[in-house]
Amino acid sequence: MASSEPTTPSPAVATSSQTQPPSSTSSKDGPEFPAIMTNDPKRTGFDPKMKWWMNYFKIITGSVTPEGVFHYREWRYKVHEERDCKTCEKWRDWALQHSPTVVFMRQKIEALNGKLDSSNIICARCPARLTEDGQVHYQSGGFDPNSGILICSNSIASQSHLEDTLAHEMVHAWDHLRWKMDWVGDKDLKHAACTEVGH
C-alpha cells in the first residue's frame, strides 16, 4: 500500500475560531460551557489503533461519524507535526524577507523598538477542540506580548494563508507597542473590544 495519504473529507461539524474552556463548567458567576468530546471508537467509528488507510477507507465508505472524522484529522495532524512545522518555518522565513505586507509590518514594529523574527515567530501544531454542541474551536495563530507570535502549522493551508495570518498577528503586535493595549480588558474594555475590529 502506498504511504501517501489523500485529503481527508471535511467533517460535517460547524467551525468557529472562538475559544471556550476545555470542559463543561458552571459557576455562580459564569455560564456553563459545553464539554469537549473525546474519541470513543465504538461511537465514532474511528480507531487510532488501526492503520491510517483503514480508517480512511471507513471514512469514505460512511462508516465514521463526523465526530470521528474530526478525531481522525487531529490524529493525522499529530503524526505529521514535524513535516507541517518545517513547511510553516520555510514559508515564515520567506515571508519575513519577501512578502511586501510582512516586511512593511516588520519595519513599523522595529520603528517602535519591537522585534519580530524567526526567534519569536514560532510554528507549532495547535490542537482543535470539538465540543458537545458540535462546534470546532481552532485557531490559525496568536499573539502574546511576552512571547511573540504563534503560527499554527496544522491550520496553514498555503504560503499566502501564512502571510495573511502572520500579517494579522503583526498588526496586534504593532497595536500593543503603539497603544500599550490592555488585551484582556482589565483596565479598559475598549482596548479589548477594538483589538479585532477591522482585522
Q: How far apart are CA 176 and CA 174, in angstroms?
A: 5
Q: State how beta strands 14-16 and 135-137 pair.
A: parallel
Q: How far apart are CA 112 and CA 48, in angstroms?
A: 48
Q: How far apart are CA 67 and CA 17, in angstroms?
A: 18
| 83, amino acid identity | R
| 49, amino acid identity | K
Active-site pick, 67, 74, 163, 169: 169
Catalytic, 163? Answer: no
126: its cell numbers: 495547535
The values of phi and psi at residue 186, to 5°, are -65, -35
User: Known catalytic residues?
Assistant: 169
